[in-house]
Amino acid sequence: MIRCTAPVPERTELAKEALDINGVIAVRELMTGRRNVEVTVAAAEGDQMTAAASALTELGFDIDDEELVKNDYKQRFDHFGLDDLAEE
């Protein structure tokens, strides 16, 4: 994951353009002044992550942080317990 900063007036457009970078699989806009875009990159090697970060810089992002994620666990959203009520 690459956390970066985009100028607020350009954040949405830059986030959409980031999806065209090789390896980018998800982009999330955050409602903050700094570190306001998270870019998820699928990369087999660190060099691919570096290439994506360089491309983001060329688009106009400032790179704040790069992380290599080992695992990502998720679960189904339970609708605030409504699934349990439906079973009763």
Q: What is the pLDDT of residue 88?
A: 59
Interatomic CA distance for residues 46 and 42, integer angstroms: 10
Domain boundary assignment for the chain:
2-66
Higher-pLDDT residue of 70 and 57 is 57
Q: What average pLDDT does the segment 22-40 reach?
A: 96
Given a contact cutoff of 8 angstroms between Cβ atoms, the answer to whether 36 and 29 are in contact is yes
Q: What average pLDDT does the segment 28-54 reach?
A: 93
**pLDDT over threshold 90, residue 53:** yes
Which range is least confidently modeled, 4-18, 22-36, 60-74?
60-74
Q: How far is CA 88 from CA 25, 42, 81, 84, in A?
A: 40, 42, 12, 7
The pTM (predicted TM-score) of the whole model is 0.80
